Structure 1
Amino acid sequence: MKINSSLLTIIKGLFIGIANIIPGVSGGTMAVSVGAYDELIGAVNHVRKDWRKSAKTLAPYVIGAGIGIGLLSFVIEGAMATYPLATACLFLGLILGGVPTLWNKAKSYKVSWPEVLSFIIMAGTIVFMTFTKTSDAASGPFSLDPVSLFLLFVVGIIAAATMVIPGVSGSLVLILLGYYNRILETLSSFIRGVLSLNLQSALDNFLPLLPFGIGVLLGIGLVAKLIEWLFEKFPSITYAGIIGLVAASPVAIFHEISLASITPMMILTAAIALTIGFYISMKLGEK
């Protein structure tokens, strides 16, 4: 039973990790959908009080997310390029499958104008970010001068902060900042260097990832504190905002999916992917 529970947690981390590298898909929303969000926020916020317990809680999530980001990033990139509609529907299903669990937590609170306003603002933020994003055409290796390394650190903080907030895609924010392609290329080159035992290539690509990674850790810690405070002080408004973010996420996911050459087989495949994603997320959210 213990092994089964740990395996389920790793699988949850896997989906969260994959979601964080797909533009338009929110790792925070995925964490909510698979029923991991509250546990993750709590573990991050209590690292100082009980680091052993927090480490035990976070370890399987980190392992799963690492597998998702490190190994499956190539698969997901290929799937998005070859089967964009089915892949988008799979992620939509994973997100929608968590809505019943989220709704059960939120429905006990009274709905008034602050909750409605929170819903509208958060949903509107996602739609605005989706339709105003710019292309991220920058490529090539990062410079290792102090200014560039500091900027990578700052970008890491910003990206992590948005990754923690449900509905906001950290990858989409990296695109807005013009860093997504270069960071993904650097990460892929680092992984290839490690797998091929090319230590020089691995080291060259690890150096720019280091300040970015430190920024990510700091950003997660800062925003996790804020999220926990919001849930304690304004639970109904916070839940309304999260539901707004989740409700608008399909707009971000399907924004760049071309519907010009859709075939009946593609629709069938997409429907199957949507159903599978919904079922997986619903079952994970129950655990």
Structure 2
Amino acid sequence: MGAADIVPGVSGGTIAFITGIYFRLLEAINAVPGAVVRDLFRARLQAFWHACDGTFLVCLLAGVMTSILTLASLISYVLVTYPILIWSFFFGLIVASVWHVGRQVRQYKAFLCVPLVAGIVLAWWITTLSAVQPAPSSLTFFLAGALAICAMILPGISGSFILVIIGMYAPVLDAIQSADITLLALFLVGCVLGLLSIARVITWAFHHFHDVVLAVLTGFMIGALNKVWPWKQTLSWRSNSAGEQVPLNEASVSPFTFADITGQDPQVAFALLVALAGFLLVLAVEWGGGRHQRNG
């Protein structure tokens, strides 16, 4: 989940969903506020730990944080050095995730096309928004954390891409790489408050409108494919923390248009192979998650 959340266009919630831990995660998060008031404030530590599924949450959080801290620099490097291949890999991941999430619908009915199309249109529109570059401040880090976590927990919506849209992706990555404890703490507090709020809403929605929610999420993932399309035309640039010019706003183009515009090899054959690898990886993760559930 941590590795996915670093990448704009890929959702950690999708990884949680295909590995079969998504609903356990929602239940554990929802239990935290009540457990704090009922048990933690009364020093009933064992009851608190059991009520909020503490071991599960700590292991998951440790994995996410370890992945973010260790892979932030690597993923930033790969996105710049091998953009076509890495985006092709993510494209294959999301296509497989669309298939996986769509299969979870209990009853396929014609009216589900409405939320499906709505999800596609909304996600596609979001991917076409121009990124902004606000002046990073303590408040913007806090608000960015609250907003991004709401997207990260939803399958199909990338919290990292939301950070790109509001212009906070680069500042957050810079804070991670420079170990700016103050700014990271504010971002984390925003994440916690946002997570506690959105998890309850998502749980309620799944309990009352299970198939509709899945149709919307499937639409989100289909629409998000525009963001991870491997061949892009750069419309505007920004300077990163090292003073280098990197793409800010991009538009999807065909491989042949990409070759004409940039004069670079579109690497179509390699891109297809890497996309297939991403697709097969999701199938393998899904198989492993299903096997774990059956054995558990």
8 A contact 1:93–1:281 mirrored in 2: no
**Is 1:266 matched up with 2:284?**
no
**Is 1:66 matched up with 2:50?**
no
- Would you tell me which structure has more strand in proportion to its own residues? 2
Change in CA separation of 1:31 and 1:91 when aligned onto 2, cut-off 3 Å = farther
Give 1:47-66 correspondences, 5 Å limit. Answer: 47=32, 48-49=34-35, 51-53=48-50, 54-66=53-65
8 A contact 1:91–1:277 mirrored in 2: no
Change in CA separation of 1:170 and 1:163 when aligned onto 2, cut-off 3 Å = same
Q: How many residues align?
A: 248
Structure 1's unaligned 5+ residue stretches are: 1-15, 143-147, 191-204
Which amino acid letter does the alignment assign opposite residue 91 of structure 1?
F
Paired residue secondary structure (1:181): helix
Provide the residue aligned with 1:179 in structure 2: 168
Cα distance in 1 for partners of 2:226, 2:289 equals 23
- Would you tell me which structure has more helix in proportion to its own residues? 1
Give 1:197-276 correspondences, 5 Å limit. Answer: 205-254=180-229, 257=232, 259=255, 260=259, 261-263=265-267, 266-267=270-271, 269-271=273-275, 273-276=277-280
Provide the residue aligned with 2:85 in structure 1: 86
> TM-score under structure 2 normalisation?
0.75
Which amino acid letter does the alignment assign opposite residue 126 of structure 1?
A
Q: Whose relative contact order is higher, 1 or 2, with alpha carbons under 8 Å and at least 6 apart?
A: 1
Change in CA separation of 1:43 and 1:96 when aligned onto 2, cut-off 3 Å = farther
8 A contact 1:18–1:69 mirrored in 2: yes
Provide the residue aligned with 1:31 in structure 2: 16
Paired residue secondary structure (1:251): coil
Paired residue secondary structure (2:128): helix
8 A contact 2:13–2:152 mirrored in 1: yes
How far the C-alpha of 1:151 sits from its partner, in A, is 3.2
Paired residue secondary structure (2:156): coil
8 A contact 1:154–1:215 mirrored in 2: yes
Cα distance in 2 for partners of 1:167, 1:100 equals 12
Change in CA separation of 1:253 and 1:217 when aligned onto 2, cut-off 3 Å = same
How far the C-alpha of 1:40 sits from its partner, in A, is 1.3
Q: Which moved more, 1:76-85 or 1:248-257?
A: 248-257
How far the C-alpha of 1:265 sits from its partner, in A, is 5.5
